[in-house]
């Protein structure tokens, strides 16, 4: 290991990076700044199986050295490895049902449609149930917002159900109480306050779209008109709401049809990965970029944004702008379109140079283009987007307006402020906080944590005893969405039903039940509440049948809100505000975290360990800034190679007199002059996993600047911090055409263009006789044009295959266990690179290097072309991993699986072995799904049909980038994809003949802007 002193000298050499850039041909991608600079350390890493530090012993480990230690370990391994097999099977018991449910066949999973709600918006899911325990989430194909896909949070939500840290009982000041006690208290307060119509009673919720809950709340307000209902959602669509009000004079809900859009401009909107309709948009967007055979038409995407997002990575033109400059860009674009009369030039020349061609491109596609404003951009940007879409004739074609999906589309900040003034006035007798975590995530200057104490009685309904629960006398356990009935609206207003798969594990209740306690109706079950509401809504005599149909589908048909055509008011836009200069400081940008969102998923191990899109950072947030800014603040990592082991400098951020210390993360493509802080970290009471991870940007976030503001001072401090970053682990040599791409025009002229410079040996260049695959031959094709790098596949794989969470320290050492990784690649200028995402599962090579070196035949070749991994044979030599050119094998260095916690046993997939320490593992192409489909087909005496098998990554992929199937069947989707000119095998020159191949990425740049 290099010594400490050396680190200081190994500062990242940007000059060297530039030199390499100049020498490259333009098609060459790089994976990190170290790669670009070709540092000796990086070149060393290329040749390694794991980063150097992975080969160690304990916490502060150094590599195991010396012959004696080696022999001791070998001897012990041999002895223990051999002895472990000499056990008798322990006696097991079978407990059959007393009365077996009719539809259930033991050993076969059942799927139920239900919905997961995030920020009030429903996402349709299918939950897989094994003998009554939900184990896996898939997207619901019947749901308009899902179309069968699921994102990482949906995938990981099932782990939250089994979180051992969940609140299990009702607590009153630390003592276990019953719901009956709480109800008695509630009725007493209501009786006291009945005379004043319930004054003094305040309810605080997050965004509510649930029709049933809205109805319940209305009933409460009817009974007690003075009861106040407040809403606060830290990462809610506040600006979109205000922007619509500004443009149309009324709140509207906006959604898009990307299938009809040829040209799309994103004003800092990560519409492909975040937000209510993202899964649908991603599906529609990528379908318009699929170049197959003669179909060579592609849509075009322009993105302006500060931090590279999955959407930005797909852009044909991406302009890194500070979040504050997006407004200026929107004005400039609107001016170029003739919508407003704004400035035609300004300090930032890039804006004014690019708006002309973009405007012309939009105008050439009136009615078939789209301007999307980012959820976190100020209202004026939304208003401008509405005006531009109106002027381009897009309303009703690519952009649709409906009434708001929220039950009460109030200004949530104002609503929170109302509560604050009531608290200050001492007039809050009872405060019911139903979900949410205001003590943690309200604007910092409100000091909510202390202010909440001004309410006389405080009750908090939440799944974990969090920061807010700590200041409440009553802590009420909340049910998980898989435990209870409910409903909510999707992005277009479609009502999605939430159906439980399991009885509540603990003494928890849903928000519906708690609100029900406030009404004068008897205490009803959530089922009766939801069904009762819809029985009253449904017209017609066939309610039961209609209800069963709706529950089965997970959506209530024809409940999408009717579209309307609001008109942009003439005086809505006003005139542009003067750009706010940075004045030597930086801009601070707050965004919900891609993994833990506003902090609510902080205790979810799968999401914490999930490498976030583009940055590949896990377990932490950081001060994300551009390479140029990092240099300016002398914050280039001490030794940028392998963040995990060598540490990065700590920065001190000062904004409005408040400071935050956090580590730096240098992100190529980040806008200069701005730093991005992801919210949701720095929790102090999140549970065992989430508490203490990362830094809390809520500590800087004020009501005045919820999303961005200028005036951030940055200072480098002496500290060093260790981040767990996946990008510099499992690295491949980018000089060998790992990631291939071309522009569409170039590809049309020369279909070989993406493969320029790459070579593959002829198929007969082998001494071994060709093996013929007569039956099935499983293969996979991954379309890099479609892949947005959203990372849902990684979590889907983790859930499906019982993959262990290893913790931050182990991830730092490159020991993360995820079988699938999504690598980020960059091309060109580090300040504004083109980006590429590449999912890398096991390649299932036909000439697999791993198989040849296994001394115990624990990895062998199946007759259908899979590289089988036999865990029970593996003795952990790691030779296979050492010999794998794709670095896709994962080794259980320790006992990473939790074999003890009872609830975590419930989340496991019974069809996949749970691996123990000392065992190698890797992607199996979801062999359990292959076998299940094969068995079903063979029982019916037929062949497996196209679509019978979907690997977990494929099933969840919003863009259908991953396609799996039988390559022996020329009509299969995968065989057709592999026949495309774009198809290539990674590291084909090694003659490994991978079964997983890629379709090179295509882009459709605007020739006017290319020059």
Partner 1 sequence: MAQIFHHSSNTFARMTLYGAIFFVAFIGWAGYTLDRSHWATRQHVPREQPIPFSHAHHVGGEGFDCRYCHTSVENSSFAGLPATEICMNCHSQIWRTSPTLEPVRESYRTGQSISWTRVHDLPDYVYFNHSIHVAKGVGCESCHGRVDRMPLMQQENSLQMEWCLNCHRHPERYVRPKEFITQMGYVPAGDQEEIGKRLVQEYHIQDARTLTSCSTCHR
x-or-dash string of contact with partner 1, 747-776, rule CB under 8 A: ----------------------------x-
Candidates 100-108, 197-205, 304-312, 781-789: pick the segment binding partner 1 (CB under 8 A).
Answer: 100-108
Q: How far is the CB of 746 from partner 1 (least distance, A)?
A: 42
Complex with partner 1: residue 100 or 341, whichever CB lies closer: 100
Sole residue written with tokens 């929170």: 416
x-or-dash string of contact with partner 1, 918-937, rule CB under 8 A: ------x--xx-xx---x--
- 302-325 burial, b at 16+ Cβ within 10 Å, e below that, comes to bbbbbbbbbbbbbbbbbbbbbbbb
Q: How far is the CB of 924 from partner 1 (least distance, A)?
A: 6
The H or E element containing residue 706 is none
What is the rounded distance in angstroms from the CA atom of residue 801 to the CA atom of residue 818? Answer: 9
Instruction: State the Cα torsion 756-757-761-762 to the nearest 10°.
Output: 40
Q: 373 forms bridges with which residues in the sheet?
A: 267
Is 99 a residue that touches partner 1 (CB under 8 A)? yes
Size of the site for partner 1 (CB under 8 A): 41
Residue 476 and residue 492 in contact, taking contact as beta carbons nearer than 8 Å: no
87: its two tokens? 């056990």
Q: How far is the CB of 527 from partner 1 (least distance, A)?
A: 21
Q: How far is the CB of 132 from partner 1 (least distance, A)?
A: 13
Residue 226 and residue 333 in contact, taking contact as beta carbons nearer than 8 Å: no
Is 866 a residue that touches partner 1 (CB under 8 A)? yes
Q: How far is the CB of 870 from partner 1 (least distance, A)?
A: 5
Q: 253 forms bridges with which residues in the sheet?
A: 402
Residue 881 and residue 891 in contact, taking contact as beta carbons nearer than 8 Å: yes
Is 165 a residue that touches partner 1 (CB under 8 A)? no
What is the rounded distance in angstroms from the CA atom of residue 115 to the CA atom of residue 209? Answer: 13
Q: 904 forms bridges with which residues in the sheet?
A: none
Complex with partner 1: residue 913 or 983, whichever CB lies closer: 913
Complex with partner 1: residue 104 or 502, whichever CB lies closer: 104
Is 968 a residue that touches partner 1 (CB under 8 A)? no
Complex with partner 1: residue 691 or 928, whichever CB lies closer: 928
What is the rounded distance in angstroms from the CA atom of residue 31 to the CA atom of residue 37? Answer: 11
Q: How far is the CB of 78 from partner 1 (least distance, A)?
A: 14
Is 268 a residue that touches partner 1 (CB under 8 A)? no
Contacting partner 1 (CB under 8 A), which of 424, 938, 989, 1010? 938
Paired sense of beta strands 741-743 and 1001-1003, if any: parallel
Q: How far is the CB of 921 from partner 1 (least distance, A)?
A: 11
Candidates 445-453, 574-582, 864-872, 984-992: pick the segment binding partner 1 (CB under 8 A).
Answer: 864-872
Q: What is the DSSP string of 439-456?
A: HHHS-GGG-HHHHGGGSS
Contacting partner 1 (CB under 8 A), which of 96, 174, 195, 570? 96
- Cβ neighbours for 421, distance < 8 A, ≥ 6 positions apart: none
Contacting partner 1 (CB under 8 A), which of 221, 408, 831, 862? 862
Candidates 106-114, 336-344, 501-509, 975-983: pick the segment binding partner 1 (CB under 8 A).
Answer: 106-114
Q: How far is the CB of 941 from partner 1 (least distance, A)?
A: 7
What is the rounded distance in angstroms from the CA atom of residue 995 to the CA atom of residue 979? Answer: 13
Residue 40, SS3 per DSSP = helix
What is the rounded distance in angstroms from the CA atom of residue 1002 to the CA atom of residue 266? Answer: 19
Contacting partner 1 (CB under 8 A), which of 110, 912, 990, 1009? 912
Contacting partner 1 (CB under 8 A), which of 223, 287, 703, 914? 914
- Cβ neighbours for 493, distance < 8 A, ≥ 6 positions apart: 253, 402, 403, 405, 559, 560, 561
Residue 676, SS3 per DSSP = strand
What is the rounded distance in angstroms from the CA atom of residue 371 to the CA atom of residue 256? Answer: 10
Q: How far is the CB of 794 from partner 1 (least distance, A)?
A: 20
Q: What is the DSSP string of 156-174?
A: HHHHHHT-TTS--SEEETT
Is 870 a residue that touches partner 1 (CB under 8 A)? yes
Q: How far is the CB of 640 from partner 1 (least distance, A)?
A: 40
Residue 312, SS3 per DSSP = helix
Q: Is 999 exposed, middle or buried (0-12, 13-18, 19+ CB in 10 A)?
A: buried
Is 900 a residue that touches partner 1 (CB under 8 A)? no
Complex with partner 1: residue 569 or 861, whichever CB lies closer: 861
Contacting partner 1 (CB under 8 A), which of 872, 905, 917, 979? 872
Contacting partner 1 (CB under 8 A), which of 4, 22, 103, 941? 941
Complex with partner 1: residue 94 or 1011, whichever CB lies closer: 94
Crossing angle (nearest 10°) for helices 511-518 and 211-223: 20
Complex with partner 1: residue 350 or 933, whichever CB lies closer: 933
Candidates 85-93, 477-485, 530-538, 548-556: pick the segment binding partner 1 (CB under 8 A).
Answer: 85-93
Residues that bind partner 1 (CB under 8 A): 85-86, 88-89, 91-100, 105-108, 775, 860, 862-864, 866, 868, 870-872, 911-914, 924, 927-928, 930-931, 935, 938-939, 941
């Amino acid at each position: 290991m290099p010594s400490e002193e050396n680190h200081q000298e190994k500062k990242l050499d940007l000059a060297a990076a530039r030199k390499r850039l100049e020498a490259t041909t333009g098609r060459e991608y790089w994976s990190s700044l170290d790669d670009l600079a070709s540092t000796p350390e990086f070149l060393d890493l290329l040749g390694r199986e794991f980063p150097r530090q992975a080969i160690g012993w304990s916490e502060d480990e150094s590599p195991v050295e010396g012959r004696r230690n080696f022999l001791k370990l070998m001897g012990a391994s041999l002895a223990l490895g051999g002895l472990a097999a000499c056990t008798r099977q322990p006696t097991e018991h079978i407990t059959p049902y007393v009365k077996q449910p009719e539809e259930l066949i033991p050993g076969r999973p059942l799927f139920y449609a239900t919905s997961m709600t995030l920020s009030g918006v429903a996402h349709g899911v299918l939950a897989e149930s094994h003998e009554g325990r939900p184990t896996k989430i898939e997207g619901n194909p019947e749901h308009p917002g899902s179309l069968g896909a699921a994102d990482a949070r949906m995938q990981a939500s099932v782990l939250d159900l089994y979180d051992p840290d969940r609140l299990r009982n009702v607590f009153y000041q630390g003592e276990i109480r019953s719901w009956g006690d709480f109800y008695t208290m509630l009725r007493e307060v209501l009786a006291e306050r009945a005379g004043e119509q319930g004054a003094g009673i305040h309810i605080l919720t997050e965004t509510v779209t649930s029709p049933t809950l809205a109805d319940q709340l209305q009933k409460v307000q009817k009974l007690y008109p003075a009861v106040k209902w407040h809403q606060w959602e830290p990462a809610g669509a506040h600006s979109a709401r205000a922007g619509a009000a500004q443009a149309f004079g009324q709140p509207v809900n906006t959604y898009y049809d990307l299938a009809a859009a040829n040209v799309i401009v994103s004003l800092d909107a990560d519409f492909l990965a975040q937000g209510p309709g993202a899964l649908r948009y991603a599906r529609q967007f990528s379908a318009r970029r699929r170049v197959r055979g003669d179909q060579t038409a592609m849509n075009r995407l322009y993105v302006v944004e500060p931090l590279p997002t999955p959407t930005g990575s797909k852009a044909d033109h991406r302009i890194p702008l500070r979040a504050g400059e997006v407004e200026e860009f929107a004005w400039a674009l609107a001016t170029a379109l003739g919508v407003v009369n704004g400035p035609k030039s300004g300090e930032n020349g890039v804006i004014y140079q690019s708006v002309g061609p973009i405007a012309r491109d939009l105008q050439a596609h009136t009615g078939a283009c789209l301007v999307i404003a980012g959820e976190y951009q100020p209202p004026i940007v939304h208003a401008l987007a509405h005006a531009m879409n109106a002027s381009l004739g897009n309303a009703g074609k690519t952009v649709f307006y409906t009434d708001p999906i929220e039950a009460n589309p109030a200004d949530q900040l104002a609503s929170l402020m109302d509560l604050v003034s009531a608290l200050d006035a001492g007039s809050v007798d009872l405060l019911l906080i139903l979900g949410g975590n205001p003590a943690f995530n309200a604007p910092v200057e409100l000091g909510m944590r202390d202010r909440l104490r001004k309410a006389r009685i405080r009750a908090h309904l939440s799944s974990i005893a969090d920061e807010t629960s700590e200041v409440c006398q009553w802590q009420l356990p909340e049910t998980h969405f898989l435990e209870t009935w409910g409903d909510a609206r999707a992005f277009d207003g479609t009502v999605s039903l939430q159906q439980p798969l399991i009885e509540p594990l603990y003494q928890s209740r849903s928000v519906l039940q708690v609100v029900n306690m406030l009404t004068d109706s008897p205490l009803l079950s959530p089922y009766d509440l939801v069904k009762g509401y819809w029985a009253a809504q449904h017209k017609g005599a066939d309610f039961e049948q209609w209800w069963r149909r709706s529950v089965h589908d997970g959506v209530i048909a024809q409940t999408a809100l009717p579209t309307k055509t609001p008109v942009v008011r003439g005086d809505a836009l006003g005139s542009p505000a003067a750009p706010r200069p940075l004045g030597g400081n930086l801009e601070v940008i707050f965004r919900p975290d891609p993994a833990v969102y506003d902090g609510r998923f902080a205790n979810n191990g799968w999401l914490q360990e999930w490498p976030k899109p583009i940055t590949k950072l896990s377990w932490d947030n950081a001060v994300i800034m551009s390479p140029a800014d990092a240099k300016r603040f002398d914050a280039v990592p001490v030794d940028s190679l392998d963040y995990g082991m060598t540490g990065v400098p700590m920065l001190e951020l000062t904004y409005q007199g408040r400071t935050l210390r956090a580590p730096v993360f240098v992100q190529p493509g980040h806008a200069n002059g701005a730093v991005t802080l992801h919210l949701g970290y720095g929790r102090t009471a999140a549970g065992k996993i989430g508490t203490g991870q990362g830094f809390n940007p809520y500590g800087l976030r004020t009501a005045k600047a919820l999303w961005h503001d200028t005036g951030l001072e940055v200072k480098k401090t002496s500290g060093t911090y260790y981040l767990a970053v996946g990008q510099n682990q499992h690295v491949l040599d980018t000089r060998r055409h790992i990631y291939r791409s071309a522009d569409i025009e170039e590809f049309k002229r020369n279909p070989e263009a993406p493969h320029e410079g790459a070579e593959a040996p002829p198929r007969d260049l082998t001494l071994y006789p060709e093996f013929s695959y007569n039956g099935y031959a499983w293969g996979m094709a991954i379309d890099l044009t479609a892949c947005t790098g959203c990372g849902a596949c990684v979590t889907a794989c983790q859930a499906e295959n019982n993959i262990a969470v290893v913790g931050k320290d182990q991830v730092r050492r490159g020991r993360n266990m995820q079988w699938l990784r999504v690598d980020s690649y960059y091309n060109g200028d580090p300040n504004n690179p083109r980006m590429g995402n590449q999912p890398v599962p096991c390649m299932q090579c036909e000439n697999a290097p791993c198989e040849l070196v296994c001394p115990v035949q624990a990895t062998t070749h199946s007759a259908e072309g899979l590289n089988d991994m036999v865990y029970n044979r593996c003795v952990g030599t790691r030779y296979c991993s050492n010999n794998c050119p794709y670095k896709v094998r994962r080794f259980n260095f320790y006992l990473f699986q939790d074999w003890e916690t009872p609830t975590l046993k419930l989340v496991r997939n019974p069809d996949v072995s749970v691996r123990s320490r000392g065992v190698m593992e890797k992607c199996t192409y979801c062999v359990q799904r292959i076998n299940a489909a094969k068995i079903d087909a063979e029982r019916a005496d037929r062949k497996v049909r196209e679509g019978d098998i979907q690997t977990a990554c494929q099933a969840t992929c919003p863009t259908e980038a991953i396609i799996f199937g039988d390559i022996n069947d020329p009509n299969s989707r995968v065989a057709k994809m592999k026949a495309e000119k774009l198809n290539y095998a990674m590291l084909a020159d090694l003659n490994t003949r991978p079964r997983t191949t890629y379709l090179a990425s295509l882009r459709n740049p605007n020739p006017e802007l290319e020059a």
